[in-house]
Structures are given as C-alpha cells and as structure tokens.
Amino acid sequence: MKIQIVLWVVFFALSLPTRASDGIVLDDFEAGDQGWSPVDQGWIDFEIVDNPFPGAVNSSAKVMKVVRKAQTQTWAGIILRDKMELAFGTFPDQYRYIHAKIFKTTNGRVAFKLEKTGDAGSFTNTQNYSPSGEWQEIIFDVGGAGGTRYDDYFIMPDQTGNLSEDITIYIDEIVLKPDPEAGENREIELPGTFQPVWSDEFNGSGYDTDIWAPQIRGDGFGNNELQYYTGLEKNIFVRDGNLVLKAYKEPYQNREYTSGKLWSQNKKYIKYGRIEARFKLPKGRGTWPAIWMMPQNSVYGGWPDSGEIDIMEFVGYDTDKVYGTVHREAGSGGNGNGSNTSIAGKTDDFHVIRIDWEPGYIKWYLNDQLFHTYNNAFASSAQWPFDQEFYLILNFAVGGDWGGAQGVDENIWPQEFLIDYVRVYQKTEKTAIRQIKNTPFSVSSLSKDELIFNSSLQYPLSINIYSLSGQKQWSKNTIPNDLGTIINISDLPKGFYIITVSDKIHSYSQKIIKR
C-alpha cells in the first residue's frame, strides 16, 4: 500500500475579515409574509402569528404558523421562489448549512429542499425531529449540492406518513450559513501527468475482446428503451477504422428494434484518469447513443448510490446538443448534475469528447472546450461516490423515457453510431507531495505507513487527523524539533483525511489521500 499525499492549506488568523460567518437571513417573519406559497393547494394553511412559545431558543415576536392537513402527501410544505440566487456547497463562498427554528408537538422528519425553476437538479436534506416542549434549532447540511446555484427555498415541516389528523408546526429564523472550516482549494488533483494506459483504435477486423464484451439483453433497462442488444455482427462491427453500433427497425425477441452495446466490465476499469473518445452521431428522433461509466463493484450500494458518469449522451430530437452528467444518491435521473454544449451546424462531423476525472472533480470537454465541472464537496458518498473503479460502456439505445420523449421516427432506420477510438490515460506517479508556499509546516511520506511532520514553529502544537465526516483518527501534542514528528497511519484505511495543526492563535489544515 503506497501513500498519496495531496495538500492544500487553509490559514485562519484572528485578523481575518468576517466572511458572512453569521449567515444570510432568508426570513425571520418579522416583516410579514415575504412571498411564501403552499406546495399543492389545499394541503397547507399558513400565516404569520405572534410567537406562542417565546423562550431562550426563540424570543422573537413573529413566527410562521403552518398547518399540514390530514391525508396529505409528505412533501406538503411552503416554498419561497426567486428570493435570491446563491451557491450551496462546502467552499468559502458557498452556503453549506440552513438553520431553522422549529416547534411542533409530534415526532416527524423535517426536510429542506433547494430548487431552481422546478424539481430537476434539486437538492434535499432531511433531519429528524423529537418534540421537547420548546423551540429547537434544526440544521440542514446541504454541502452535497456541490456548488449548484439555487433561488427557490422549500421547507417540508412534517413528513409523517399516513397523517390521520391536521398537524400544526411553527417555523422561525431561517438562516443560510457557510462552512466556517471550509478549505480554499476546490480542485484536488493527483500529481504527475496523464499517460496512456490502454486504448482501442478499432483499426483491425473487430473490437478488442480483451477490453470489450457485448451485452445481450433487451428488457427496457429501466428507461422503457425499445431495442434488443443482440451481440450480433450486424449490430456491432468495425469498418474503415471505426466501431459501428448499428440500430435496425426489426422484430427481435419481442422488441421492435435491434442495436449494439459493448462494455468493459470485469475487463478494464479505472479509478481517476482521462477518458477520451472520437465519435460521430446518428440522426433522427428516437436515437439515443451514449458513452458512459458504471462502478465495477458498487461499493456504496445499488444505483444511483454508487454513481454513474455519463461522458456523452445525445438524443436525436435535440439535434444541437450533447450532454455530460453524473448521477449519485444526492441526485439522479432528472435530478442528475450535468450540462450540455452545442454542436449546432456540426452534426455530420466527428467530435472528440473527454473527461478528466480527479479526486477533486470531473471535467467534461468537447473538442477541447470545457463545458461542465462537477466538484467533490468532500461531504459524503451521497455527493461523491466517484472514489472507486468504474468501467466503460458504449451503446446505441432506441426510444426510451428520454431518447423517445418526442416519439420515434419509424422512417429513419437503420442508423449508425460511429466511434473512431477510445483512449484511457492515468497519472502514473504514485507518491508525491504538492508543495505549498509560505507554509510553516510540511507533511511528507516516510514509508508506506508513516508520515513525517516538520515545522518552523518552535512552540507546542496539537496535531489531529480527522475523517471527512469529522471523526478523530489520530492525535498528538508535540513541540517541533529538527528530527520531525512521526505520524503512524497504518491503521487508517484508504481514503481522504484532514490533518489539522493548531496553537492558541492559528489553525492550519490540509487534506491527505491515503491510497
């Protein structure tokens, strides 16, 4: 087991200016209704009232009274639309925590949902509530939003299922706050440069069977797709240096279309790297070609919890765009995180798609132009399950929930999806330190299970190692010396950790990756 150390330093001093540490007040209800509206008419009644339970936690004069009606859905709530557009995530200029004061007399979860022009791409955090006879401050962690900007704020104050009678909830002082310990570096990268590790140029008589295998299946794939992937040469073949996935309109195994799909599962898979492909798209309504990735071992559970990386997707009714998207527990399907870029006027051309996948981000490029970035918020696997091995998939679907959203043109078939090459690169340097300038300490790899800490500071320091969830893994108080301080990490499993070094005035933090 080798150690991969990637560093960045965050410096906190008493003289630093305030960085909205007290947050932004979304609404304290003192000035009346700021434009809240019910979600689904008739499910919720609400009004601004005098605080019926003033006390130490909440002594304000006015609060919001919400009545959820019996037999209504759990997403009954109130929403404040177009209030202010803010970025939510774990970095200094983003808002990670939503504080709300709640009073109710029953058990039941409380949820806060961030939206922008509807449910697609929304982010929700849910917290448990147990009545205590007084106001409680509930904190919603929305760091998993990963930097997405929202301007609609939706609170579901009671998510009790099968509600048999009306329930009253009081809400007050909704405040948005950044993470006070947020680090500055958003894009952690492995050291070294990308080097080719494998490719298929499709220059022979067929595809490389050491890399690919055909999938033979046709059950709709959860998307109501119309094709059957036959594995036959008529649907998957190499011609003139291109892989051809060819779809026909023909009956086969109770399906109306046949097509081709290759995947590298159990043959070739990677964790972090650059994946690049040159392709030419089919035409017409109902075509849905894709180049994408799925987890080799699904270490966080079934889809979408273990993630999906859609490198390139195209739907034939939307002829001017290609899409790149990730799906994960924090948002999948229509709530996936992605973007698109224009190919207007160039649909007959070959294009080069690539992703650069690092521990801190995934970036999408079309013809060397960046069009989407998904950052690791270092919050949980719900937001970033992309720290495991993924395999590649090449397929040409027909119809389906997205590909067939505007129907399938029955007169365009057969159609071909061409792939000139697939190339995979990784960084081959296994152990390195990213040096940070003007830092009063350093951490370096001494052996496979030991780090060495050195510092120019000559007074007592506290060194701690935390998991990203905040669990302390190692701790030591020390006075730095010329020989350095040994940190034994043999008991730590592979993953991300935070080292903090502090005295009575300053705190320094850096993330490390144990590989």
Tell the residue number behind the tokens 């067929």, with chain if given: 206
Residues of the chain with CATH 2.60.40.3080: 3-8+431-514
In the CATH hierarchy, which fold is given to the domain comprising 194-427?
Jelly Rolls (2.60.120)
What would you report as the CA-atom Rg of the chain, rounded to the nearest whole angstrom? 27
Q: Is the CB of residue 90 less than 8 Å from the CB of residue 96?
A: yes
Residues of the chain with CATH 2.60.120.260: 22-177
Q: What is the DSSP letter of 217?
A: B
CA distance 118 to 506: 43
3-state SS record for 52-85: CCCCCCCCCCEEEEEEECCCCCCCCEEEECCCCC
CA distance 445 to 467: 19
Positions marked catalytic: 308, 313
Q: Is the CB of residue 165 less than 8 Å from the CB of residue 67?
A: no
CA 436 and chain centroid, separation: 27
The percent helix, strand, coil of the chain (3-state, each to 5) is: 0, 50, 50
Q: Alpha-carbon torsion 150, 153, 157, 158, what sign?
A: negative
**pLDDT tens sequence for the chain (515 residues):** 333 433 333 333 322 223 334 689 999 999 988 899 998 778 999 999 999 999 999 999 999 999 999 999 888 999 999 988 998 987 778 898 999 999 999 888 899 999 987 776 788 888 989 888 999 999 998 887 877 889 999 999 998 888 899 999 999 999 999 987 776 555 778 878 899 999 999 999 999 999 999 999 999 999 999 999 999 999 999 999 999 999 999 999 999 999 999 999 999 999 999 999 999 999 999 999 999 999 999 999 999 999 999 999 999 999 999 999 999 988 888 888 999 999 998 989 999 999 999 988 999 999 999 999 998 877 678 889 999 999 999 999 999 999 999 999 999 999 999 999 999 999 875 433 333 334 456 777 666 677 777 776 655 677 778 765 556 778 777 776 666 778 888 888 776 677 777 655 555 666 676 76
Torsion angles phi and psi, residue 333, rounded to 5: 60, -130
Q: Which of 323, 299, 321, 320 is nearest to 311 (CA)?
A: 323
Task: Determine the 3-state secondary structure of 391 from DSSP.
Answer: strand
Task: Determine the 3-state secondary structure of 334 from DSSP.
Answer: helix
Amino acid, res. 10: V
CATH superfamily of 22-177: Galactose-binding domain-like (2.60.120.260)
Domain 3-8+431-514: CATH architecture, name and number where available? Sandwich (2.60)
The tokens describing 417, both together, are: 């999806």
Q: In the beta sheet, which residues pair with residue 148?
A: 88
CA distance 285 to 226: 13
Task: Determine the 3-state secondary structure of 317 from DSSP.
Answer: coil
CA distance 491 to 472: 13
CA distance 188 to 274: 15
Q: Which of 4, 102, 2, 98 is nearest to 360 (CA)?
A: 4
Burial class, 487, CB count within 10 angstroms (exposed 0-12 / middle 13-18 / buried 19+): buried
List of residues 6+ apart from 365 with CB closer than 8 A: 353, 354, 355, 356, 371
